[in-house]
Amino acid sequence: MAEPIVSLRGITKRFGDFVANEAVSLDLYPGEIHALLGENGAGKTTLMNVLTGLLRPDGGEIRFRGRPVRIDSPEVAYRLGIGMVHQHFKLIPPFTVAENVVLGAEPRRGLLFDRRAAREAVRALTEAYGLAVNPDARVGALSVGMQQRVEILKILYRGADVLIFDEPTAVLTPQEVREFLAILKRLAGQGKAIVFITHKLKEVLAVADRVTILRRGRVVDTLPAAGADEGLLAEKMIGRRVRLAPEKAPARPGPVVLELRAVRERRTGQDALAGVDLALRAGEIYGLAGVDGNGQRPLVEVLFGRRPAEGDVRLFGESILGLPTKALLERGMALIPEDRHREGLVLAMSVAENAILTRYDRPPFVRRGILRPAAIRRAAAEIVERFDVRTPSLAVPVAALSGGNQQKLIIGREVARRPAVVVAFQPTRGLDIGAQAHVYRTLVALRDAGAAVLLISFELDEILALADRIGVLSGGRIVAELAPEAADEETIGLYMTGRGDVRHGDAGRGDSGGDAVRRGGAGRGEVGSGDDAGQEDSGHGGADRTDEGKAGDGR
């Protein structure tokens, strides 16, 4: 084997008393895709932030092509040829692709920016690495997958031989994921050293050459990807056997709780929602599949009163279209949002404050207009305990928590309100295996307690594993409805791309004939774990205690 481009030896990084990385060693070789696995908070991103100069280690050594180096800034890392594509892109939407790529290292003609040279340099890179993207396109008009290519071009333009990708497929469609994995293989084939940080084990097994697993800041193992399987990798990540697919009994659907009739939403003369019909029943998980950009976000915004629409939306038979978000929450609806930072949390506020964010103005948290800190702390402590939210204290800003723990806090907060209808939009986005299992068990427990769950996800594996009925959203309407046992990724994928045997009209209305029911008939049961399902695979210590929450009082 060739000599490593980069060797990390005994890297330790502390934040106060918290040890994020402890004596971590890692070798990166040219032409190799090295996957870095671990739960949220295991130290993966911290380790790569050390390598790219965003953080300084408290101990250990970095060697670059055999010689010790001190990387104390991203600029030093770039000069060495080390670049990182972060999970959240760092692009300027009004700028063109070429302008974004060369920003900070612009070609010049005298004192002026040489725009032609920038375009030519970017075009040459796109051709050399098979990254088809128009240098003159405005970045804000590109899809997420194309924006990711711009980020890759940025580090290639700076001469990177070591490319680090942090959760690169978390926001990509299935088609974009396939294209991205092909790009990784091409880059490795041209001698680049690739670090692939992800929670998606199928993707690791599809492209990685070697895998290093971190747990609580330490290296658990480094092994060849060939011969490994998802179960083995998950067990090493979590430290115990992991049940990858959720266990659930057959659904016992009740009456229709939430019904959408010919819901349309227009933007710039076109339909974002082109007549959505859907009947959601108590005691079921309805999985809504579709390629991103086919009306998922407008649908959620319409359901929660944040976007005007035509048609009708009924909750327990009452028309709720156009009601404000607060009124909908009071009627028993709950949202697990796609973007937890922008829509689920106030990052500067404490864990305790975020735990009661959707009911801060109701007893017991307020009396005569004055907040009651003791009551807030008690409720927050209960959510943290039941949902195994790992936090140094209730007083720390929620921004200090890992993504998985932030998501568990949001879910705990919403379950504590005992909702009758739960809309879960991309609920496991960016989460590790253990946190995903936790979310799956909670959604199933909500269903079993009588809540109606609308699961909107771009992950077909997730839809197939959880849904009791599957609808496919394409072109702003539900074009097909399938039973899980009659569906597979290929079939759903055809409908998603408009190539299936499109059925509409009554799609989404289930067996009810569209009849909504009176309020109060669903969602009164307690969220329970069933027959101890998932206790061996929680991966989060007391995660199974999440099943003690409440679901749906039918309000």
pLDDT at position 550, please? 36
Q: What is the pLDDT of residues 363-402, one digit of tens each?
A: 999 998 899 999 999 999 999 999 889 898 999 999 988 7
Query: Hey, where are the domains in the chain?
Result: 256-548
Q: Which strands sit side by side in the sheet containing 256-267, from one edge to the other?
A: 270-281, 256-267, 310-315, 318-319
pLDDT for res 195: 98
Question: What would the pLDDT profile of 253-280 be if each residue is shown by its tens digit?
Answer: 999 999 999 999 876 545 589 999 999 9
The rounded distance, in Å, linking the Cα atoms of 302 and 308 is 6
Q: Are 193 and 31 in contact (CB under 8 A)?
A: yes
- Return the amino acid letter for 54: L
Alpha-helix residue ranges (DSSP H) falling in 158-212: 174-189, 201-207
Give the C-alpha separation, 114 to 100, whole Å.
14
pLDDT at 527: 54
If residue 215 lies in a helix (H) or strand (E), which one and from where to where?
strand 210-215
Q: What is the pLDDT of residue 1?
A: 60
The pLDDT tens digits for 223-260 are 999 989 999 999 999 888 777 678 899 999 999 999 99
Dihedral of the alpha carbons of 357, 362, 368, 374, in degrees to the nearest 10: -60
Ranges under pLDDT 50 in the chain = 269, 502-526, 528-555
Beta-carbon neighbour count of residue 163 at 10 Å?
23
Please report where in the chains the tokens 């290639």 appear, as a residue: 156
Signed CA dihedral, 175, 177, 149, 3: sign only? negative
Q: What is the pLDDT of residue 449?
A: 96
How many angstroms separate the CA atoms of 530 and 236, rounded?
A: 26
Q: What is the spatial distance between Cα 451 and Cα 517, in angstroms, rounded to a whole number? A: 14
pLDDT at 145: 84
**Residue type present at position 154:** K
Into which CATH architecture does domain 256-548 fall?
A: 3-Layer(aba) Sandwich (3.40)
Q: Could you read off the pLDDT of 173-230 as tens digits, one per residue?
A: 677 888 999 999 999 999 999 999 988 899 999 999 999 999 999 999 999 999 899 9
pLDDT, position 99: 97
pTM: predicted TM-score of the whole model, two decimal places: 0.71
